[in-house]
Structure 1
Amino acid sequence: MNVFGEDLLHLVTRAIEWCGILVIVLGIVLATWRYVQRSRSGKAEDHSLRHYRADVGRGILLGLEFLVAADIIATVAIEPTLESLAVLAGIIVIRTFLSLSLEVEITGRWPWKQDPEEVEDRREAR
């Protein structure tokens, strides 16, 4: 690969990483804003903290998707060595575990378990 192409891939990778970081930060800011709005309006209920944590978790999950994409691009397109591939595999395992943990935290169930309401909605749609 020529130097220009490699520099462009580095730039694209960094841009995607920054997007991931921005998504996480914005997710936290928006979740906090929603929590404060609920508290000010008097709609704060017992579940407000749970909703806040779920909103923060969603922001983190989306940001992690961007970060994994950037890692894949960096490993596959820029530096495709066995060592970089092993590092990528480790990163993906850790981030997958984090994603699963956050999903369980947000929804209260495993991602492959369907919500009973979703199942009922599908039955009614048929």
Structure 2
Amino acid sequence: MTFTQLMDRTAQGFDALGAGVLVVGLLWALVLAVRTWRTRGGRPAYQALRETFGGVLLLSLEVLVAADLIRTVAVAPTLTNVAVLGLIVLIRTFLSFSLQIEIDGAPPWRRALTSGATTVARAARNASGDERR
């Protein structure tokens, strides 16, 4: 087996792993959502499903990018393939960025406003019934 064939098989393995992560992750997200629905109701279950499956999508995108990277660099490193890889990585980066915003509820540059002490203070105000923000 040549190096190119080995790298092609490795890229195929990463493709299969990415697909497996999607399938297993979807099943896991559904299990968590059903458990949450039984204990806390519909809205928290939907939120758990979105957050869990969003994380699974992010992980699978990273694995699939690794497969494309291996395939392009080690198997067929032509200028056309590198350009296609760049476009694929750009699209997947945009998708990852969008998914992360959906999961966190805020863009990265505004994440500090929705985490840490601000979140604790907001939760304490909500728990005490103070509606000021």
Q: TM-score, normalised by structure 2?
A: 0.80
Q: Which residue of 1 aligns with 2:35?
A: 37
Structure 1, unmatched stretches of 5+, are 121-126
Identity of aligned residues (%): 37
Kindly tell me the number of residue pairs found equivalent between the two proteins: 117
Decide which moves more: 110-119 or 46-55.
110-119
Structure 2, unmatched stretches of 5+, are 120-133
Q: Does 1:50 align with 2:65?
A: no
Q: Which residue of 2 aligns with 1:93?
A: 90
Decide which moves more: 108-117 or 67-76.
108-117
Q: Which residue of 2 aligns with 1:124?
A: none
| Of 8, 11, 33, the match for 2:9 | 11
Decide which moves more: 56-65 or 44-53.
44-53
Give the Cα–Cα distance (whole angstroms) in 1 for the partners of residues 21 and 53 of structure 2.
11
Task: Write out per-residue CA displacement over residues 10-39 of structure 1, whole angstroms, 9 at most, x where no aligned residue.
Answer: 110100111111111111110001111122
Q: Does 1:78 align with 2:75?
A: yes
Give the Cα–Cα distance (whole angstroms) in 1 for the partners of residues 27 and 117 of structure 2.
29
Q: TM-score, normalised by structure 1?
A: 0.84
Give the Cα–Cα distance (whole angstroms) in 2 for the partners of residues 38 and 64 of structure 1.
26
- Give the structure with the larger helix fraction: 2
Offset at residue 61 of structure 1 (A): 0.4
